[in-house]
Amino acid sequence: MSRSRLALPVLALTGILADPTLGASSPIVPVAAPAPVKLAVFDFELEDTSAALSEIASDATELANATEVIRRLLTQSGRYHVVATDSDADAAKTRSLHDCGGCDAAIALKLGADQSLVGVIRRVSRTEYTFRFALRDARTGDLISAGDSGLRMGANYSWSKGASRLISDRLLDQPQ
């Protein structure tokens, strides 16, 4: 094969044979990433349906840990800007947010958030639990997304792992 016949495919692959007017007059404009959604992530709640029906000292610590792990995960995704919820903690603590019919949305809106996230750990036994969440539009209260982990094995120290997995699978791995 002659040298000129070999050069033609190579030139075509490198773009040298492309239309010279395409790139010369139309600059490439980068597409801006969407601004992160302002999200109020309320402290996770415990719904204990186990036979013991008693919280142990480490439950509060593990609930706080699970909440913090999810806040970090959502922030690191770049899709969300987590807003502080402690300024309206009294309003959030006067009732169970997971069972108030979407009242969390109004609290989130008051905090300046676009969306609210409420999570609940339901303890079935000391070594079995489920995690569920509800993501709502703060303006309308409409449910945007929800998830339930199904039965998971592990004591309270594993709550953050179950929550992370569900949030990653149901919320972060989904297209925006």
- Asked if residue 128 lies in contact with residue 152, where contact means CB atoms within 8 angstroms, the answer is yes
CA distance 23 to 145: 42
Residue 11 lies in a domain: no
How many residues are given for the chain?
176
pLDDT in the model for residue 15:
47
In a domain, 25, yes or no: no
Query: Residue 121's domain spans which residues?
Result: 37-172
- For residue 142, tell me if it sits in a domain: yes
Would you say residue 7 lies in a domain? Answer: no
User: What is the number of structural domains in the chain?
Assistant: 1
pLDDT digits (tens, 9 = 90+) for 10-41: 444 444 444 455 555 556 767 777 899 999 99
Task: Report which of residues 34 and 142 the model is more confident about.
Answer: 142
How many beta carbons lie within 10 A of that of residue 95, not counting itself?
12
Note whether residue 137 is domain-resident: yes
The DSSP code sequence of 77-89 is TSSEEEEP-GGGH
Return the CATH number at 47. Answer: 3.40.50.10610
> 74-85: per-residue pLDDT in tens?
999 999 999 999
CA distance 146 to 21: 50
Q: Which residue has the higher pLDDT, 176 or 100?
A: 100
Does residue 31 belong to any structural domain of this protein?
A: no
